[in-house]
Structure 1
Amino acid sequence: MSHPDLPDFDETFDVVIVGSGAGGLSAAAIAAEGGASVLVLEKAARIGGTTRKSAAALWIPGNRFMREAGIDDRPEDVVRFLARIGRPALYDPNAPRFGLPQWEYDMLITFCENAATAQDELERVGAMWLAPSPFGISDYQGHRPENLNPVGRTLYEAETLGAANGGQVLVDRLAAGAEAHGAVIRVEHEVEDVVLGEDGAVVGLEVRTPGGQVRIRARAGVIFASGGFTHNPEYRVQFLNGPFMGGCAAPTNTGDFLRIGMQLGVELGDLSEAWTVAINTERMEREPDTFMSSFYVLGDGMIEVNRSGRRVVNEKAPYNEHGRVMSDWDPVELRYPNMPLIAIWDQQVADRWGIDRFGNPVPAPDADPYWVVSGDSLEELAEAIDAKLVELGPRTGNARLDADFVENLRATIERYGELADAGVDTDFRRGDTQFERYVSSRFGDGDGPNPLMRRLDTSGRLYASVLALGTLDTKGGPRTTPHREVLRPDGSTIPGLYAVGNCAASATGQGYPAAGATLGPIVTEGYLAAKRVLSRI
């Protein structure tokens, strides 16, 4: 760590923010409107980070639209739900804090108590414009009895309402709002280190710019909002609990703040967890700026199997729960038997559900389907899949198909067909939940007794795509107070240092409650950090 007795600072601002996604820009807008001089530093050549790639959904418990509808979304009730899905092994509805550790409870209740206020304030300062989902989207675990208000918390950027360009519009609106109040935003500015004062406070940053190295002073504080460590292979192997192969976070999310935090000796938390999702590693490498994880695999005549040719998961489950099955461990074969998963669909699905949204592996009609293989028989399809696995190599854990793959796949397809004909998936409960049925209705129900299932037509051509374990981003890092001050292991805070979003430790455990459950907390955290920094001016 460097000290201010080195050469003078090149510039001085009240608040310096690292990262220009939703968290950083929310903090910038609130701090600038509050009278602070604000500088936002973005590592990439354009602003927005991972937020820019999103559909701009924000999960805001107790938002004003719910209040106007007469829905009382009590913070304590929301925390109960989050405890149940995030820490199921600790959850006790009758215990203090529902069984959660004190830190996690404090973080969650603070979010729930401030999310609606953060939205209202960001809209007041001209940095945000949200609207309810026009489709009545449910929380992912809306079927859980602990979730008392499963519809209404997910809001969208009002201009786009979930369209593919929503993240771009959200980022541009946040940036314009911040700049309207005097914030300065600079791209291609990579923060390499913090500058410490004699008392251990963070007083500035060492920054690499296109024009060379500079030192920037922050009179009131530095707020890191620089994303997680999805694209740091060393950190993925060291910290994550499972064979993660990458993800759809911005390519610049390489764990910069985790590195700096470890050098400072901060308290760390939740490093083994991530916002989990299936990914196509080929698309991740070839389309890094626009690639999306496979949030949904569309179609009724579609299944997913492991390398043995067996179904192992509800293919329509929310992506966090769907992806986690790839971390299952075989104690006899000593391998991850479900990594990768192989999505297989028939010609009807190819013709009807080829949509370039949400990382759907079924390619759109005008796409170059380089990630898809096909065959006119199960044997031909298996040969093509195995050749693709050889090509992918370490990108899918060097997996190969088992010798009995075709035999098992044939039995799997027949079993799935029987379930589809009956209309009930007694194996994996596909189509049981409110959220699954919502997604199906949005993209087109099938015609069978269960609109999410149909017997695969093996008389025509079959298609497949290989899905690996990935992240939207990681969710571990330095721990903070509920107001985003970075903590030391002894419980004290590092003066002048704040962190929001995926660069910091999350209190959500293994849970992922709903669409917008990353961005909703992130903008709330940006708001809380900015308000705390303003109190120092």
Structure 2
Amino acid sequence: MTAQVQSQTHYDVIVVGSGAGAMTSAVFLADHGFSVLIVEKSDKYGGTSAISGGGIWIPNNHYFAKLNGNDTYATALRYLQAAAGEHVDETRLRTYLDNAPKMIEELAQTSRVRYAVAAKYPDYYPHLPGALPGGRTLDPEFFDTSLLGDELDNLRKPSPSTLLMGCIAWTARDAHKVMARGFGWRLLIMGLMLRYKLDFKWRRKSKIDRRASLGSSLVASLRRSLMDRNVPLWLNTDFAGLLTKDGRVSGVSVRRNGAEVQLHARHGVILASGGFEQNQALREKYLPQPTRMAWSATPPGNNTGAALEAGLAQGAATALMDWAWWAPTIAVPGEEKPRGIFAERAFPGAIVVNSLGRRFVNEAAPYLEFVDAMYRDNGLTGGKSVPAWVIFDGHFRFNYAMGPLMPGQIMPDSRLRKEWLNTLYWKDDTLAGLARQIGVDAAGLEATVVKVNEYARTGKDPDFGRGGNVFDRYYGDSNIKPNPCLAPLRKGAYYAMRLDAGDIGTKGGLLTNEHAQVVREDGAAIAGLYAIGNCSASVMGTSYPGAGGTLGPAMTFAYVAANHLASQR
């Protein structure tokens, strides 16, 4: 980046944040002929998007249509109305459905971003009208990170949990096949490992796969698209507040190189800097208790609510402030942030209990609903469900992963880090002994296991219906009968791991209209101010309709904001 660009202080539009929504808005703004600057407080770009699965939930998308998929606007609207309708203005829902397919089709035509249909990934609420058993979630294709040149060094590294063996890229479709132990899963792993090992030139440079996948692929392809358009992205530039002139937002104040700098935006500012999950004071103010930013799976030091506070200072309205994109997390000693536990809860032979030793939720439920159930049960039991405990036996340990514990057939206990015992996982030859170690009622746990073992025999879970729908079964073991999500716990040793009430971002934030403009309590738009992604109140309300329900709206309303700015020029 030249000194001239570094010192420039006037742009058409300034975008705060560098996640998928932020960069998508910049791509479309540049294509509309705007001069754009992206400012990012961290020394890495990509935000939470870079460590995510990268999936986007796009009903009625052109990828699915090319596969003769059966989806319609009316079907998707019926589903969204059932899932989120009472918490979200229908105009915003319709805006999303109108623009999401257009956004991804245009992005595919004009940028480096490439997706494929996750044809078997079902919507999260299969019992609601309009739900589909697959086709609405799109999974990023691989992206060659060598195309980034020196900018690769500034890309936020993917979480180890999103890479095979902590270093090999795989798509969500690959991961599903392996986790569900579908036909040919071993050959798939061997092929991925062989391709990785044979990339000799890249191995001399990095242990991380040349190919990016999941969120890393999405962010890398967007960054390359911005490089194609010569859009500047300033790192280590901390957003400090909004500038106003003549009743409209006219720029931002940032801290850069130890000094405060004013940056001016001729047409508007787009806030896309994430939620407030890494701000303990704001968590205490808004979210259910107990709450800890240390439980969040997002990068520490980022997503501190700066955009929220700046919008509030301008009189912005807010919504959904007591909600997050909940996901149970496991803290791994030595890692900067906890790992979200998404798929493993569905594997047969693991159960989740509170400190009374009782189950309180369908373990295979969507992650938002899972943590919501943790909090509800915590209230009913007087604080017995936060944290919760995932319990499994030796058979599960040998065959399946749980967080950083790879299957024992690949990573036996003898190869685990010694410091993980009694910090990451607990182990005992008996259930009673395990219960004593973790402070769980032994009689309650024993009784629960007896019940679950009978449920595994019959294939029916009368308590919570685990394995009773297509979403539950997506990550179940297809080889287990009669229920791919249920197996008995009978073989010692027994294991336990702590589950915290974590998140992958907050859900509430600045309220916006159908143009992604931030609005006041009376519904009037704050001129020149837009918000997208997790710093805005989710168009999904309190629901999570499908995988990619965070990034899909962030990128769609980025497109909406860019188009609205272009229409106002």
Q: In structure 2, how many angstroms separate the alpha carbons of the residues matched to 1:239 and 1:286?
A: 29
Instruction: Determine whether 1:473 maps to 2:473.
Output: no
Residue-by-residue CA offset, 1:237-272 (whole Å, 9 max, x unaligned): 211235333311232011111111111111111111
- Of 120, 124, 144 in structure 2, the residue corresponding to residue 136 of structure 1 is 120
Structure 1 distance, partners of 2:122, 2:287, is 29
Measure the CA separation in 1 of the matches of 2:290 and 2:351: 22
Deviation at 1:29, TM superposition (A): 0.5
Q: In the TM superposition, what are the counterparts of 1:332-481 in structure 2 within 5 Å?
A: 335-354=382-401, 365=411, 368=417, 369=420, 370-386=423-439, 401=440, 405-440=441-476, 444-445=477-478, 447-458=480-491, 460-481=492-513
User: Helix, strand or coil for the counterpart of 1:216?
Assistant: strand
Q: Report the residue type matching 1:425 in the other structure.
A: D
CA contact (8 A) 2:141 2:217 kept: no
Alignment correspondent of 2:356: 308
Distance (Å, rounded) in 2 between the aligned partners of 1:109 and 1:484: 13
- State how far apart, in whole Å, the 2-side matches of 1:322 and 1:293 are: 12
Deviation string 1:273-302 (CA, Å, 9 cap, x unpaired) is: 11111112x33x84236x431112353221
2:299 to 250, 259, 263: 250
Q: Please show how residues 107-118 of structure 1 align to structure 2 within 5 Å.
A: 107-118=92-103
- Residue 319 of structure 2: aligned partner: 269
| Structure 1: stretches of 5+ with no match in the other structure | 1-8, 88-99, 387-400
* Matching residue of 1:178: 226
Q: Which amino acid aligns with 1:65?
A: Y
Q: Give aligned-pair identity as a percent.
A: 33
Q: What SS does structure 2 have at the residue aligned with 1:254? A: coil
Cα distance per residue 1:47-80 (max 9 Å; x no partner): 1001101121111111002333444533343232
Contact 1:361 1:465 in 2 (8 A): no
- Tell whether the 8 Å contact from 2:508 to 2:534 is kept in structure 1 after alignment: yes
Q: How many residues align?
A: 487
Match of 2:154 in 1: none
Correspondences of 1:268-287 after superposition (within 5 Å): 268-280=318-330, 282-283=331-332, 286-287=334-335
- CA shift for structure 1 position 104: 1.9
- Distance of aligned partners of 1:409 and 1:489 in 2 relative to their CA distance in 1, 3 Å threshold: same
- Deviations 1:83-124, CA, capped at 9 Å, x for gaps: 22235xxxxxxxxxxxx46x6211111001110100011122
Q: Report if aligned partners of 2:287, 2:322 keep a CA contact under 8 Å in 1.
A: yes
Higher deviation after alignment, 33-42 or 163-172: 163-172
Distance 1:431 1:292 in 2: 24
Higher mean C-alpha deviation, range 371-380 or range 25-34: 371-380
- Are 1:14 and 2:47 counterparts? no
How big is the alpha-carbon RMSD for the aligned residues of Structure 1 and Structure 2?
2.4
Cα distance, 1:340 vs structure 2: 1.7
| 8 Å contact from structure 2 (residues 241, 254) kept in 1 | yes
Counterpart AA for 1:481: N
Shift of 1:363: 12
Q: Closer, same or farther in 2 for the Cα pair 1:332/1:148, shift >3 Å?
A: closer
Distance 1:364 1:243 in 2: 37
Amino acid at match of 1:161: T
d(CA) in 2 for partners of 1:509 and 1:149?
19
Structure 2 unaligned segments of length 5 or more: list them: 1-6, 143-169, 176-211
Asked if 1 retains the 8 angstrom alpha-carbon contact of 2:517 and 2:526, the reply is: yes
The amino acid that maps onto 1:418 is: E
SS at 1:489 equivalent = coil
**Partner SS state of residue 51, structure 1:** helix
CA drift at 1:362: 9.2
Q: How many Å separate the matches in 2 of 1:10 and 1:31?
A: 18
Per the alignment, do residues 433 and 242 of structure 1 end up closer, same or farther by CA in structure 2, a change over 3 Å counting?
farther
Counterparts of 1:363 and 1:104, CA distance in 2 = 51
CA distance in 1, matches of 2:406, 2:81: 30
Distance 1:332 1:67 in 2: 46
Q: 1:136: how far off?
A: 1.7
Q: Name the CA shift for 1:37/1:85 in 2 (closer, same or farther; >3 Å).
A: same
- Secondary structure at the counterpart of residue 456 of structure 2: helix
Give the SS at the match of 2:276. Answer: coil
1:25 aligned counterpart, secondary structure: helix
SS of alignment partner, residue 348 of structure 1: helix
Higher helix content, 1 or 2: 2
- Which residue of structure 2 aligns with residue 326 of structure 1? 374
Q: Is the 8 A contact 2:328 2:371 kept in 1?
A: yes
Is the CA contact 1:58–1:154 (under 8 Å) kept in the aligned structure 2?
Answer: yes
Contact 1:10-1:214 at 8 Å conserved across structures: no
2:49 pairs with 48, 51, 59, which one?
51
C-alpha distance in structure 2 between counterparts of 1:380 and 1:318, whole Å: 31
- TM-score (normalizing by structure 1): 0.85
CA distance in 1, matches of 2:528, 2:21: 17
Inter-CA distance 70–351: structure 2 relative to 1 (3 Å threshold): closer
